[in-house]
Amino acid sequence: MKLFSKLFAIFIICFLFIFATYLVMKEYMHIDLVKLIIGDRKTNTNQVDDNSEVEDVDVSRSSSSQETKITVSMPDGWEKNESSVLEHQYMKGTSSFMLKSEPFEGTDLYDIVDQAKEIYSDTFDNVTYIGSTKDIEINGNPAKTIVFTADIAGLEMKYMYAYTIINGEVYVATFGDLASTFDSLQSDYDAILASIEY
């Protein structure tokens, strides 16, 4: 019974995370879910010597004249969410990672972070930003991260969003977990961000 309770809790957290992401995309970014589901994308999964999973993804977008190939190396224990409509979505325990493009206006990272903060504050309850926006690099290119907690369906969640520009499009790497366990996987989050190549 205890195992069932844990599995049920993981299921609920995953569902809430995906649902919250969908709400943000639908309400504020006018994403067409049908296009996400049936979009023309090709995914290949390979194994590398260190037993880390590497996913090669070719992404073609009608709004972009360039084709983008993105690879992500996942640390041990992260499992691909095969039922996700996203190319990159993984789980480890109650923690989730996603990498996707987002239709922000413009490509100025300062403006994007400001827009994102407004969206999250309007969408989630009790949003508290932790620290200031942090400058990092993803694949040698500028990126900005924000970290915040929020209440979703009565659970205190913690998120880290890392925004960057890939071939003129805004991409975000999203990490989420229960606020009480989020920090325990920070080294995994850092390794995932460092592994992203395009």
59 has a pLDDT exceeding 80:
no
Question: Could you give the count of Cα atoms lying within 13 Å of 140 in the half-sphere of its Cβ?
Answer: 2
| Residue in 123, 78, 84, 111 with CA at minimum distance from that of residue 100 | 84
pLDDT tens track for 113-141? 999 999 999 999 999 999 999 999 999 99
| Residue among 80, 86, 94, 70 nearest 17 (CA) | 94
CA dist., res. 160 & res. 147, Å (int): 4
Residue 147: enclosing H or E segment and its boundaries? Answer: strand 141-152
Label residue 78 by pLDDT band (50, 70, 90). Answer: very high
Indicate the pLDDT class of residue 5, thresholds 50, 70 and 90.
Answer: low
What is the domain count for the chain?
1
The CATH number given to whatever domain includes residue 19 is 3.40.1000.10
Output the pLDDT for position 15.
54
109: number of CA atoms within 13 Å, CB side?
20
User: For 74-100, what is the mean pLDDT?
Assistant: 95
Helix axes of 2-29 and 109-123: crossing angle, nearest 10 degrees:
120
Mean pLDDT (whole number) for 89-95:
97
Position 39 pLDDT exceeds 90? no
Of 21-25, 26-30, 104-108, least confident by mean pLDDT is 26-30
pLDDT, position 105 = 86
**Residue 183 gets which letter from DSSP?**
G
Q: Is 171 in contact with 142 (CB distance < 8 Å)?
A: no
Q: Measured between alpha carbons, how far is 168 from 171 in angstroms, rounded to an integer?
A: 9
**Does the pLDDT at position 62 exceed 80?**
no
d(CA 78, CA 165): 25
Residue 190: give the domain boundaries. 2-195
Asked whether residue 193 carries a pLDDT value surpassing 80, the answer given is yes
Q: Tell me the C-alpha distance between 189 and 39, whole Å.
A: 28
Mean pLDDT for 62-89 is 82
**Residue written as tokens 């995309």?**
25
Q: What is the pTM of this model?
A: 0.70
